[in-house]
Chains A and B, each alone.
Chain A
Amino acid sequence: MNQPLLEAINLSRTYKLAKGSAGKGKAFRHALVEMNLSINTGDRIGIVGESGSGKTTLVRLLLGLDTPTSGSVEFKGQTLISGKMPWLRKDVQIVFQDPRSSLDPRMKISEIIREPLVCLGIDEDHDARIDEVLDSVGLERAMRDRYPHELSGGQRQRVAIARALAPRPGVLIADEPVSALDVLVRDQILELIAQLTDKLGLTLILVSHDLSVIARLCNRVIVMKDGAVVESGNTREVFDRPAHEFTRALIGAIPRLPESL
Chain B
Amino acid sequence: MKKAMKGNISLITGSVMVAITFSLLILSFIWTPHDPLEVTPDDSFAGISSKHFLGADKLGRDILSQIIVGSRVTLLVAALAVTIAMTLGVSAGITIAVASRKLQAPMVYAVNIALAFPAALLAIILAAVYGASTLTAVSAIGLATAAAVAQVTRRTAYGILASDYVLAAHACGASTWRIIRKHVMPNLRASLLIQASAVVSVSVLAESSLSYLGLGTPPPAPSWGRMLAGSQQYIFVNPLLAIWPGIAIVIVVLGFNLVGDGVREVFDPTLRRSDS
A24 to chain B, nearest CB (A): 28
Inter-chain CA distance A102–B162, complex, in Å, is 11
Which one of A65, A103, A106 contacts B186 once the chains associate, using CB atoms below 8 Å?
A106
State A98–B169 Cα separation when bound (angstroms).
Answer: 15
Q: Residue B6 at the A interface, CB < 8 A?
A: no
Q: Which of B49-57, B83-91, B144-152, B171-179 contacts A (4 or more CB under 8 A)?
A: B171-179
**A residues 106-149 in Cβ contact with B at 8 Å:** 106-107, 111, 115-116, 119-120, 147, 149
The segment out of A26-34, A89-97, A185-193 that lies at the interface is A89-97
Tell me which residues across on chain B come within 8 A of A98, comparing CB atoms: 164
- CB nearest neighbor in A for B178: A119
Whether, in the assembled complex, A63 has its beta carbon less than 8 Å from a beta carbon of chain B, the answer is yes
In the bound complex, how far is the Cα of B183 from the Cα of A147, in angstroms? 14
Chain A residue contacts of B165, Cβ below 8 A? 101-105
A44 interface residue, CB < 8 Å from B?
no
Question: How many positions in chain B have a CB within 8 Å of any CB in the partner chain?
Answer: 21
CA gap between A120 and B196 in the complex, in Å: 36
- Verify A89–B270 contact, CB threshold 8 A: no
Q: Which residue of A lies closest to B168 (CB)?
A: A102
Q: Does A252 contact B (CB under 8 A)?
A: no
Closest to A116 in B: B172
Chain B hits for A101, CB < 8 A: 163-165
A119 near B187 with CB under 8 A, answer: no
Q: Which of B163, B167, B171 contacts A93 (CB 8 A)?
A: B171
Give the residues from 59 to 89 in chain A that come closer than 8 angstroms, CB to CB, to chain B.
Answer: 60, 63, 65, 83, 86, 89
Q: Which residue of A lies closest to B174 (CB)?
A: A119
Query: Please, how many angstroms separate the alpha-carbon atoms of A171 and B171 in the complex?
Result: 13
Asked if B170 is at the interface of the complex by the 8 Å CB criterion, the answer is yes
A225 within 8 A of B: no
Give CA–CA (A24, B14) in the complex, Å: 54
Contact among B168, B171, B187 with A105 in the assembled complex (CB-CB below 8 Å): B187
User: Does A13 interact with chain B (Cβ within 8 Å)?
Assistant: no
Please name all residues of chain B whose beta carbon is closer than 8 Å to the beta carbon of A106 when the two chains form the complex: 186-187, 189, 269-270
Rounded to whole Å, the gap between the CB of A184 and the closest CB of chain B is: 27
Instruction: Say yes or no for A163: interface residue by CB 8 A criterion.
Output: yes
Cα A116 to Cα B175 in complex, Å, equals 11
Q: Is B173 in contact with A89, judged by CB distance below 8 angstroms?
A: yes
Tell me if B164 and A102 are in contact (CB < 8 A). yes
Chain A residues within an 8 Å CB radius of B168: 94, 96, 102-104, 160, 163
Using Cβ atoms and an 8 Å threshold, which residues of chain B touch A103? 165, 168
CB-defined contacts of A116 to chain B, threshold 8 Å: 172-173
Q: Is the CB of A94 within 8 A of B171?
A: yes
When chains A and B are docked, how far (Å) is the Cα of A44 from the Cα of B189?
Answer: 43
- Of all A-B residue pairs in the complex, the 10 with the closest CB atoms, nearest first, are A89-B173, A116-B172, A101-B164, A106-B186, A119-B173, A104-B165, A102-B164, A105-B270, A102-B168, A119-B174
Chain B residues within CB distance 8 Å of chain A? 163-165, 167-175, 178, 182-183, 186-187, 189, 269-270, 272
Q: List 5 A-B contacts (CB under 8 A).
A: A103-B165, A104-B186, A119-B178, A120-B173, A163-B172
Q: With A93-B172, A96-B164, A115-B169 given, name 11 new contacts (CB 8 A).
A: A83-B170, A94-B171, A104-B182, A104-B187, A106-B269, A107-B186, A116-B173, A119-B175, A119-B178, A163-B168, A163-B172
